[in-house]
Amino acid sequence: EGVPGALHLEWLNEPQLEAATNLAGPMLVLAGAGTGKTRALISRIAELIHKRAARSNEILAVTFTNKAAREMKDRVSQYPVNLAGGMPWMGTFHSICVKLLRRHAELVGLKSNFTILDTDDQNRLLKQLIVAANIDEKRWPARLLSGVIDNWKNRAWTPETLPSSEAQAFNGRGPELYAQYQERLKTLNACDFGDLLLHMVTIFQKHDDILAKYQSWFKYILVDEYQDTNVAQYLWLRLLAAGHKNLCCVGDDDQSIYGWRGAEVGNILRFEKDFSGAKVVRLEQNYRSTAHILAAASGVIAGNSDRLGKELWTEAEGGEKVRLIGHWDGDEEARWVGEEIEAMQSGTRGRAGMSLDDMAILVRASHQMRAFEDRFLTIGLPYRVIGGPRFYERLEIRDAMAYFRLAVSQDDDLAFERIVNTPRRGLGDKAIQTINMLARSNGVSMVEGARIAIETGAIKGKGGKGLAELVSNLDRWAAILHMQSLPELSEDAVIDGTSDLGLPIADLPADAPQTHIELAEVILDESGYTTMWLNDKTPEAPGRLENLKELVKALESFENLQGFLEHVSLIMDNDTDDAEQKVTIMTLHAAKGLEYPAVFLPGWEDGLFPSQRSMDESGLKGLEEERRLAYVGITRAEEVCTISFAANRRVYGQWQSQLPSRFVDELPEAHVEVLTAPGLYGGGYGGASGDYGGSPLQDRAARADAYNSPGWKRMQAQADRRSKSSHSNAKGLVIDATAVSSFTQGDRVFHTKFGYGTVMGIEGDKLDIEFDKAGAKKVVAKFIVPAAQ
């Protein structure tokens, strides 16, 4: 198979070859997990260059994560094709948009050195606006507003184009706050994540000449994971591809897992309408997983009704069944996984030659990671965390980054506010208010406001001195940075002996930091920030200093500070140090498109996975999205897939009794082996016979009884019902429609999250409840207990 002699086409099967070599016009590759969609896409890029259909930098390929983009770049450069035209544009929607936006920032009221805010900054800014608008921030929190605004941006709605149907959002104040927020961002010379796309769509829509330029420049456009594009991304693509119409999208409707972020799986279904004459290629052979793993995944996804439906097959017969194991609690689960990993690494379990890089733990919620991290630290097992609570979200890193941001752009008020009195410079709230007021009344940034405060003596004494020192430091760092970057500036940026910053042009003094890395160290030093932590006696301080070192080290892989800051705002993954072999820990969402020989899927418990929140908020649609996530999880595994659940779990400090996920019931029995956890009360789950039907639940109930867990009777009733229904149907029931809830209308009930409420209606195992505080919600019955009165 494949095309001998053409390395980039070798081994491809018939339909893959079609996808890779049929270059002209629109094409959609629609196929299940592991069928070689991404591989075909990369081969297509190589073929485009090989056939000289376009110069390499006239090709635009959009991936979902930076990791995927990196892998794509590696693969393309390994093929013997001529890359003299430069690398193709390969990156995420955001990373590509940020490049384009820097060139055209002024068209949306920004400068080209705009900063990108993260959610923390975004929320702080929104909070200021909410408070200024006299809205009770407790009832109408910034988080809620940022969700509303993100959602609008995902739909490509600007304040000007917001439809009237949205007028009531955020208690009727949403639209006005959105407009204010966008204005504030402009004054800060900043944009948020959603703006990167929104601004580009706006620019394309308003400036025909610019759109035309890019339409003709990008001769071929390719998109991976197309099922997860949102409206804004879709519009952007459609605008760009309208010229040459050479758009190739690959995707899988069963792997659409970003609906909660505005992704529209409908984009896939609409493709053939939007691009008439589109070729559609389907791939059916899975090259990634063994037959058992594939069958388990297919069994679970079959529970969804809203599917296009695809057949998948594999030549990889045999192999291990999917393994299922229950644990007493989350710590036990982490301990067991740690032992398994060590056994697999040493070859005492499974095949020889399995390295830590071959293993991944995929969690539903990032709070699950901590147990694994704690355990692995204890036993000295190297691991990396991707997309979890990130390195860059730590306090000291955010402070340091704020200093860097100010060196790059003095308009960044959020960064200024963050560090103006960190370390302490004797500037209290009042002084900061004064600076703020001076900045507002003069229509300038806070750094400028601070200058006025110093000159007019508005802030005196210790605070005044500290502020003056900070401002002069900021100026010096900006000047050094500027001089470091001069060779890269175009000539017209230099007018009559001064640079575009108005700073005199001179050679960088020999004793000045010569690189952005040295400058970063100098900044942390001269600002007093490093000293602050050196003098700090709390137990965290040494770790924080370590992290700062780590941060400076991370700068080494970037050409300049701005590039680094950009990277940090864009990354979904921060695996910088890849030399050592490590187990990967990440969320299921971040694992899309990846594959590992051995995959652990912990925490398959109702409420955690499927997540209660997604079901509460989106009902059956939410559940189907969770099921697709389960499908994504299982199909990441090549050889070994281990699913686990725990009977007790601590969530945000609270112990909770857990029931196995309904997805556990939906695993086809023939492809599952049930393992017995050591040390479990009652001897485990029906032995290793493979007969797990019902027994995990019964055993669970017995243990709950033994430990005299409150409310266990309710759980037993639930468990019995669930095990019956799952037995009546090999595939399991999606929603237990046969279940009769033990509640009746008018009952007073209690829910751990929503508090007290009254049952208004019953639908299968779901209750319509009018909560006293939280309002009307649809909730699965098992999360409800009768209220005392």
Q: What amino acid positions are annotated as catalytic residues?
A: 37-38, 224-225, 255, 636
Q: How far apart are the first and last CA of the chain?
A: 72
Q: Is 36 annotated as a binding residue?
A: yes
635 binds Mg ion (CB under 5 A): no
Rounded Cα gap, residues 470 and 487, in angstroms:
28
What minimum distance in Å lies between the beta carbon of 591 and ligand ATP?
9
633 binds ligand ATP (CB under 6 A): no
Rounded Cα gap, residues 581 and 346, in angstroms:
13
The residue within the footprint of ligand ATP, chosen from 33, 59, 354, 360 (CB under 6 A), is 33
Which span (34-42, 113-121, 125-133, 681-689) binds ligand ATP, by CB under 6 A? 34-42
Q: Kind and range of the H or E element at 139? A: none
The residue within the footprint of ligand ATP, chosen from 21, 38, 154, 584 (CB under 6 A), is 38
39 binds ligand ATP (CB under 6 A): yes
Structure tokens at 703: 């243990």
Half-sphere exposure (Cβ direction) of 205: Cα atoms closer than 13 Å: 16
Rounded Cα gap, residues 190 and 350, in angstroms:
52
Of the pair 252, 699, the CB lying nearest ligand ATP is at: 252
Site map for Mg ion, 14-43, x if CB under 5 A? -----------------------xx-----
Q: Is 32 annotated as a binding residue?
A: yes
Of the pair 2, 109, the CB lying nearest ligand ATP is at: 2
Asked whether the beta carbons of 325 and 602 are under 8 A apart, the reply is: no
63 binds ligand ATP (CB under 6 A): no
The residue within the footprint of ligand ATP, chosen from 6, 9, 12, 59 (CB under 6 A), is 12
Of the pair 43, 658, the CB lying nearest ligand ATP is at: 43
DSSP 320: P
Query: Phi then psi for 757, rounded to 5 degrees?
Result: -165, 180
Q: Which of residues 209-268 bind ligand ATP (CB under 6 A)?
A: 252, 255
Which span (8-16, 107-115, 304-312, 339-347) binds ligand ATP, by CB under 6 A? 8-16
What minimum distance in Å lies between the beta carbon of 623 and Mg ion?
24
- Per-residue CA distances from 79 to 23, 59, 435, 594, 695 (Å): 18, 16, 57, 21, 53
- Kindly determine how many residues on this chain lie close enough to bind Mg ion according to the rule CB under 5 A: 3
Q: Is 31 annotated as a binding residue?
A: yes
Of the pair 513, 597, the CB lying nearest ligand ATP is at: 597
The residue within the footprint of ligand ATP, chosen from 91, 326, 464, 593 (CB under 6 A), is 593
13 binds ligand ATP (CB under 6 A): yes
User: 10 Å Cβ neighbour count for 352?
Assistant: 8
Which span (30-38, 50-58, 119-127, 322-330) binds ligand ATP, by CB under 6 A? 30-38
Looking at beta carbons, which pairs linking 749-758 to residues 24 or more positions away fall under 8 Å?
A: 749/784, 749/785, 749/786, 749/787, 750/784, 750/785, 750/786, 750/787, 751/779, 751/783, 751/784, 751/785, 752/654, 752/656, 752/783, 753/612, 754/779, 756/787
Query: Phi then psi for 751, rounded to 5 degrees?
Result: -130, 135
- Per-residue CA distances from 700 to 494, 601, 755 (Å): 74, 20, 26
The residue within the footprint of ligand ATP, chosen from 3, 7, 11, 53 (CB under 6 A), is 11
- Asked if the peptide bond before residue 539 counts as cis, ω within 30 degrees of 0, the response is no
What does 766 interact with, of ligand ATP, Mg ion, none (CB < 5 to 8 A by kind)?
A: none
Judged by DSSP in three states, 283 sits in: strand
What minimum distance in Å lies between the beta carbon of 39 and ligand ATP?
3
Q: What is the dihedral of CA 61, 63, 67, 70, to 10 degrees?
A: -10
Binding site for Mg ion (CB under 5 A): 37-38, 593
- The site for ligand ATP (CB under 6 A) is made up of 11-13, 16, 31, 33-39, 252, 255, 287-288, 593, 595, 635
Annotated binding-site residues for ATP read 31-38
